[in-house]
Structure 1
């Protein structure tokens, strides 16, 4: 089995770590209606933040900040969930909702709005609120949490490969970890992925993926891409064995946690750690790869309150030689993955 011919979605998903409590946005509704939500933080417009019917997006705050949600048409608030934060409501009209969030613990709040003249038009805002604590622990998801990603890859042959949207749905949570289904539009379940309580992959089972790829992989002791607590300046290392049937390969990983900063994707405006990572595979099971090795440098933005990667940019190189041109289309050079929608239970 060719372990590293997995689509890069698996790689991105492995970095998409633990989920966390909170709330989700609307589903259905008439998306042709000119109804949408925008936002301000402390009275300043949030650029590129627009939530349309059927969408749910994230807005990252720090304790003590005001958030203002502006509706383009009269609305009602369907859902109010403050997590462990205190929310002082400063305005609540048909088109303007403003509250000040304060908390001593990192937490998630939620607001879901419905257009007054068409209650099926709902839009959600998941609000992550950072406390003054600069350290973050692992987060446990809830069954039904959904995270949708957009991905584009580039191959050694120079081909750009856009993927269909992939939604990661939490299906089971136990004391030792959780399972997620990775679902493409259709919907088709592409794989079931097993995470431990730290949000690191321990296995996956492919269902509708590349018929020549690995169907049942195990990571021993874990694919340790995350180590908690997370804080700016932390450096950590790990290695693991990836096994499929009788094939296995050793992977060595290092990471440096950078700034806790604002980053914007189609899924919202997040507060996230910028983490620089490096992975080296020295004994790939793919015999078409010269030297059986490659290196992958990735910058990932990880929201430690949401418990998810929100943006991923990776470059893969082949320091021991590039694969032959006749198979170059099967080997990746660049990958970008963005979180585009979040539904929290």
Structure 2
């Protein structure tokens, strides 16, 4: 069983992404006509730093019930899409360069706003607004067919090599009796794999395409790769174990997690409200003969947005307590860094 299947143990469950990356830039300090068309934002009148939406992009803005969202365009715009989900939105301002609304809700929900530049309607930019209610507990969410989530990943190997990967877009393709299916596609787009999830967003299967570099073409997680357990609430602890199999090989993985604060976190994909979850995964019987101790372990901090139903940031460190491999050290990871860069919600 090749390493890559096992590399992103947490990615498969909830880092589940179109569009380009981007993100950077200043907050909503006013109209700036010196740059190409873009949107910035304020929450309750305060500029949101590092939040810029450019044509073709869709970024997330996480708020709590009762907060005002102000979206500022640097050129005259038309509001194309208004979707409030389960929230009510009282519009407080609506001009061709400034839109402001107060969102209130009794249940966690997602709202959307899509804008187009008036002089060039093909220049569209979207804002996905996740709105938390006063409830501090969160249940699993079901995505919609066509939802797309894009991630950027950079790894480091035992040889000290930094390895950047192409952007990966996870596309929800079908809702199933068990949960849902997704295509993981690289730019092109080239579908690298198909992944099967249960209703809690935990992986139960994986089928690589001929283009995927993994040695494993058909993996199963029995009974499930249980990285998420609902309801999620700060302070919750949970654990699980499963067998990852790729015929004729299999390995046992054990997992533990502690749910930390529900906090603000920023990536190129937006400004999110997410749980920080500290996790540890231990593999004790790897079939990879290059591992002297036949195993490894990884500690990961992941930030999971429970309204979006996705990981938005992942920082993982892998170690080899039984001894590091002495060959092919450029094939074994020590660090994994993954960020959500773009979100398209149906």
Give me the TM-score of the superposition, normalised by structure 2: 0.93
C-alpha deviations, 1:104-132, integer Å up to 9, x for none?
A: 00000000000011100000000000000
Q: Aligned-pair distance for 1:292?
A: 0.3
User: Are the equivalent residues in 1 in contact too, given 2:10–2:227 (CA < 8 A)?
Assistant: no
Two-structure CA RMSD over aligned residues (Å): 1.7
Q: Aligned-pair distance for 1:209?
A: 1.5
SS at match of 2:200: coil
Change (3 A) 1:234 1:7: closer
1:224 counterpart residue number: 226
Q: Aligned-pair distance for 1:12?
A: 1.7
2:97 counterpart residue number: 95
The gaps in structure 2 that reach 5 residues or longer are 21-33
SS at match of 1:272: strand
C-alpha deviations, 1:313-337, integer Å up to 9, x for none?
A: 000000110000x310110000000
User: Are the equivalent residues in 1 in contact too, given 2:19–2:150 (CA < 8 A)?
Assistant: no
1:37 counterpart residue number: 39
SS at match of 1:233: coil
1:341 counterpart residue number: 342
1:135 counterpart residue number: 137
Spell out the pairing of 1:81-160 with structure 2 (5 A cutoff).
81-160=83-162
SS at match of 1:6: helix
* Residue 238 of structure 1, aligned match among 214, 237, 240: 240
C-alpha deviations, 1:112-162, integer Å up to 9, x for none?
A: 000011100000000000000000000000000000000000000000000
Change (3 A) 1:10 1:187: farther
Change (3 A) 1:25 1:205: closer
Change (3 A) 1:197 1:310: same
Match status 1:210 vs 2:237? no
Q: Aligned-pair distance for 1:10?
A: 6.3
Distance in 2 (alpha carbons) for counterparts of 1:263 and 1:115: 29
The gaps in structure 1 that reach 5 residues or longer are 27-31
1:68 counterpart residue number: 70
Q: Aligned-pair distance for 1:25?
A: 9.2
Distance in 2 (alpha carbons) for counterparts of 1:5 and 1:291: 19
SS at match of 2:293: helix
Change (3 A) 1:333 1:13: same
Distance in 2 (alpha carbons) for counterparts of 1:227 and 1:265: 24
User: Are the equivalent residues in 2 in contact too, given 1:25–1:125 (CA < 8 A)?
Assistant: no
Distance in 2 (alpha carbons) for counterparts of 1:175 and 1:80: 31
Runs of 4+ in 1 over 3 A off after TM superposition: 7-11
SS at match of 1:186: coil
* Residue 169 of structure 1, aligned match among 165, 171, 183: 171
C-alpha deviations, 1:272-327, integer Å up to 9, x for none?
A: 00000000000011011111011100000000000000000000000110000x31
1:29 counterpart residue number: none
Query: Alignment length, in residue pairs?
Result: 332
Q: Aligned-pair distance for 1:92?
A: 0.3
* Residue 312 of structure 2, aligned match among 306, 310, 327: 310
* Residue 46 of structure 1, aligned match among 45, 48, 59: 48
Change (3 A) 1:54 1:149: same
1:6 counterpart residue number: 5
Spell out the pairing of 1:155-304 with structure 2 (5 A cutoff).
155-207=157-209, 208-210=211-213, 213-304=215-306
Distance in 1 (alpha carbons) for counterparts of 2:119 and 2:251: 58
Q: Aligned-pair distance for 1:6?
A: 2.5
Q: Aligned-pair distance for 1:33?
A: 7.2
User: Are the equivalent residues in 2 in contact too, given 1:25–1:112 (CA < 8 A)?
Assistant: no
1:79 counterpart residue number: 81
Distance in 2 (alpha carbons) for counterparts of 1:174 and 1:303: 23
Distance in 2 (alpha carbons) for counterparts of 1:256 and 1:16: 18
Change (3 A) 1:11 1:227: closer
SS at match of 2:184: strand
Distance in 2 (alpha carbons) for counterparts of 1:5 and 1:170: 22
Distance in 1 (alpha carbons) for counterparts of 2:217 and 2:99: 49
